[in-house]
Amino acid sequence: MRIGYFIGHFPYPHRLQDDIYIKKYAHGGVEMAAYHLARHMVEKSEDVDIFTTAIGKNDEEQSNGLKIHRYATSFKVASANVSFKLWREPLNYELDLVHAHSPIPYSDLPALRYAKRYKVPFVVSYHFDGQETGGSFLRNSGVILYNRLFLSKVLDQAEVILVGTRTYANESPHLKEFHDKIRVVPYGINLKEFQISCSPKEARQKLNLPLEGDLILFFGSLVPYKGPEVLIKALKLLEHKSAHVVFAGRGPMEMDLRQLSQELGVENQVIFAGFVPEELKKYYYRAADIFCLPSVTMAESFGIVNLEAMASSLPVVASRLGGLPEVVRNGENGLLVEPKVVGDLASKLSLLLENPTLRHKLGKNGRKIAENYNWDRVVDLIHKIYEEVL
């Protein structure tokens, strides 16, 4: 079987630790999920081609059995690369199946074009609802245009639509007409990557984090839909003044968040760690006491960082939103809060800060639950779906 994956950005495998590269070629959970899926599919002895954009000129690369075809960027919309060649060049390759990572118009539509021209099965991974909030006017206009004119056509042509959770499939306004095509397949995680022998104190020393007090970790881009400002406002309400919030990641909100923390008088309790290389992620999880993802919109469909925190035996505090409640089970491996409700978030964080026994229980349960999300199991499910549609 020769599989063609279409995605707007695909990680450069040898540059995942490179801060300058990440600035030039934005990628996050979706792109890393596509990367791990492709790598594991190769391990099942399948031929895999990746069709994506390049930082510079056209580039052909082979890595871990993947054939990666990168096409020069014609122009950018916000942080997204758009390549005219991504529309044309893949047509020169012979594929048995096309799989698009959606909703990304610059790769969805070329994938659909290939599938229709050569009459091969078209599979879509629907990762999130595109939100017309935050970002530039051009970016928001593009989201609105794509949602209204093209998204339903892409989904209608797909043989199968893969969604991370049943809850998200039911709540997304864009998926309501396509429930007969939806297959729920969760995201995966490599559990071994988060097994670490050092103590929390040693991890804090390595990262130059405070050795005393509790650490609340936020991992991800500092963008509106993840709600980082809600966490800072909740920190202000906490009685535990020795607690710190660590923002591991960067994004367009950083300056506003720094200003907010100063206005609220909690700047000494907020740490902006900036870009974190993949090799250091496990140390941040090890150093923390609580993980928090206070997302505020349906753009957060799953939150792979929740799985990473669970694999690290951390209790998770997350929003009762989209597919998050299927991953973060209230009272079992974490606590759920109402989106944007600062008082609710502060209350749940206080409960965990005051109760180390509860933190340990939730973290231990989370580690067990995370074992159900290993990549081998996820790839087996997707491979069976490929066989069904061929």
Phi, psi angles (nearest 5°) of residue 101 = -95, 115
pLDDT at 122 (0 to 100): 98
Fold of 191-372: Rossmann fold (3.40.50)
Q: Which whole number is the average pLDDT over 291-315? A: 91
Q: Answer whether residue 17 shows pLDDT above 80.
A: no
Cα separation of 35 and 154, whole Å? 22
**What does each C-alpha distance from 247 to 79, 239, 345 come to in angstroms?**
21, 20, 16
User: Which of residues 223 and 137 earns the better pLDDT score?
Assistant: 223
What pLDDT shows up at residue 302?
A: 80
Q: Domain boundaries in the chain?
A: 2-188+374-389, 191-372
Cβ neighbours around 320 below 10 Å, total: 16
Helices (H) and strands (E) in the chain, counts: 16, 16
Residue 97 pLDDT class (50, 70, 90 cuts): very high
CA angle 17, 58, 221 (to 5 degrees): 35
Paired strand residues for 53:
71
pLDDT beyond 80 at 181: yes
Structure tokens at 339: 């989106």
Residue 372 DSSP label = G
Q: What are phi and psi of 127, to 5 degrees?
A: -90, -30
Question: In the chain, which ranges are E strands?
Answer: 2-6, 47-53, 59-63, 66-71, 75-77, 80-82, 97-102, 122-126, 160-163, 182-184, 215-219, 244-248, 270-274, 290-293, 316-319, 334-337
Angle at 377 between CA 373 and CA 382, to 5 degrees: 110
CA–CA separation, 179 and 152 (whole Å):
13
Average pLDDT over residues 279-287: 96
Under 8 Å between Cβ of 51 and 6: yes
- What is the rounded average pLDDT of the residues 277-303? 91
The pLDDT of 68-94, averaged and rounded, is 87
Read off the pLDDT of residues 215-240 as tens digits, 9 standing for 90 and up: 999 999 898 999 999 999 999 999 99
Q: Quote the CATH superfamily of domain 2-188+374-389.
A: Glycogen Phosphorylase B; (3.40.50.2000)
Residue range 272-279: mean pLDDT, rounded: 91
320: its two tokens: 């009762």
Question: CA 380, CA 337: separation in Å to the nearest integer?
Answer: 33
Amino acid at 20: I
Q: Within 10 Å of residue 79's Cβ, how many Cβ atoms?
A: 18
Chain-centre distance for alpha carbon 271: 22
Question: Could you give the 3-state DSSP secondary structure of residue 163?
Answer: strand
β-pairing, 182-184 vs 160-163, is: parallel
Fold equal for 2-188+374-389 and 191-372: yes
β-sheet bridge partners, residue 271: 246
Residue 24 has pLDDT above 70, yes or no: no
- The SS3 assignment for 380 reads helix
- Return mean pLDDT, the chain: 91
Q: Would you give the DSSP letter of residue 249?
A: B
Whole-number Å distance between alpha carbons of 323 and 166: 7
352: pLDDT strictly greater than 80 = yes
Q: What's the whole-number mean pLDDT along residues 291-311? A: 90
